Structure 1
Amino acid sequence: MAIVFRPQGLRWRTCTCALLLAALATGCAQLGAPPYAADYEALDRLEARNPGKVAVAKVQPTDPNDKINTLGLRRAKLVSPSGSFAQYLEDALVRDLGEISVYDPKAPTRIAARILVNELDLGVVNGTGRMDVEVTVTRNAAQTLRKTYRGEIAFDSSYANIVAVPAGQAAYPRLVRALLRQVYGDPQFVAAIAPSAP
């Protein structure tokens, strides 16, 4: 008797694509942003500079209805699994800093961030993303840095929604990584979170 193996991953992708196509056709698709994945090269470089312990303040804006926390992908809507894109960024920061063992919610050095621009443009052939974030670092309530960083990405898109919308959905974690890569690689940021003198 022949045994036929049916790959579950392929079946899942087929069903997902079918559901996405149906939702797009009715104009009611709501898609979750994929989980954030760290840029380990950027984190290794930051760790090599011996940063001090840091806390992370609540990233702004916290209102889930704020335009920053709403991303349209043509007739679909991209939503954050964290409830808002501000929380998505906060979770990414905490995770990254925890990866290199410098995150400490009680540390006197605190990173605060406000998202100013949060955009994905699917285009017709090429898609783009842009995120601008104002980062403020304080140490014992004294400000040591206030600077705006920009992350930008490009990705393949299409006139067809069934191609372009999943491409935009998949691109969001890349956009957050691009933004944080700019932050972690900035010498002024590194100096602001350096260990305080004894």
Structure 2
Amino acid sequence: MAIFFRPQGVRLRAFTATLCASAAVVLASGCAQLAAPPYAADYEALDRLEAARPGMVALAKVQPTDPNDRINTLNLRRAKLLSPSGTFAQYLEDALMRDLGEISAYDPKAQTRIAARILVNELDLGVINGTGRMDVEVVVTRASAQRLRKTYRGELAFDSSYANIVAVPAGQAAYPRLVRALLRQVYADPQFIAAIAP
């Protein structure tokens, strides 16, 4: 089983502090556009998926690809959250590709193919608590035969605030954790594991 090293607490605190400082500068300047932080894998979930011995899988283009689709637009009060991948569909596709590559289960020529469509992609900055929700329909096919069609939901809660200078960077930092929560549900599902089995 692969061994992964996780960032230390000091690095995570420094990263969060950098996000807060960056968001403060952006909000103060009136340039209300922020980039979602890079995705970081849930290695415990990946270890469990790897232990299930999945087969090789390919990925279809995650939908919707239109950058103007509401799924690919996230507003954090007066700020706009942008995907560093161009769209949030591409952000999810990159996360899937990275995760499957980490456990040596990704092959773009594999007969088993995962297709995904984001149905809900939301961050809500409450005055005390913030929430996130992501619903994704996953379809697994092998040689054109459907093996799975299922909708998964990832949810999370995070500390927020009435003050934009606190709430906006909190929402920004929460996005990769939302994607991680969604993928954790997918990877742990016995039906998904069976669908991608060799």
Identify whether the pair has TM-score above 0.5, normalized to the shorter chain: yes
Matched-pair identity in % = 82
**Count of matched residue positions in the alignment of Structure 1 and Structure 2:** 184
Decide whether aligned partners of structure 1 residues 193 and 12 sit closer, same or farther in structure 2, where only a CA change above 3 A counts.
Answer: closer
Decide whether aligned partners of structure 1 residues 116 and 15 sit closer, same or farther in structure 2, where only a CA change above 3 A counts.
Answer: closer
Decide whether aligned partners of structure 1 residues 12 and 53 sit closer, same or farther in structure 2, where only a CA change above 3 A counts.
Answer: closer
TM-score (norm 2): 0.89
User: Quick check: which has more Rg, 1 or 2?
Assistant: 1
Decide whether aligned partners of structure 1 residues 80 and 48 sit closer, same or farther in structure 2, where only a CA change above 3 A counts.
Answer: same
TM alignment of 1:1-198, pairs within 5 A: 16-23=22-29, 26=30, 28-195=31-198
Q: Does structure 1 conserve the Cα–Cα contact (< 8 Å) formed by 2:134 and 2:154?
A: yes
3-state SS of 1:118 partner: strand
Q: Does structure 1 conserve the Cα–Cα contact (< 8 Å) formed by 2:26 and 2:33?
A: no
Give structure 1 stretches of 5+ with no counterpart: 1-8
User: Which aligned runs of 4 or more in structure 1 are off by greater than 3 angstroms?
Assistant: 9-15
Question: 1:149-169: per-residue Cα shift (whole Å, max 9, x none)?
Answer: 000000000000000000000
Amino acid at match of 2:164: N
Decide whether aligned partners of structure 1 residues 75 and 106 sit closer, same or farther in structure 2, where only a CA change above 3 A counts.
Answer: same
Cα distance in 2 for residues equivalent to 1:54 and 1:45: 17
Cα distance in 2 for residues equivalent to 1:113 and 1:14: 32
TM-score (norm 1): 0.89
Decide whether aligned partners of structure 1 residues 17 and 129 sit closer, same or farther in structure 2, where only a CA change above 3 A counts.
Answer: closer
Aligned partner of 2:5 in structure 1 is: none
Decide whether aligned partners of structure 1 residues 48 and 160 sit closer, same or farther in structure 2, where only a CA change above 3 A counts.
Answer: same
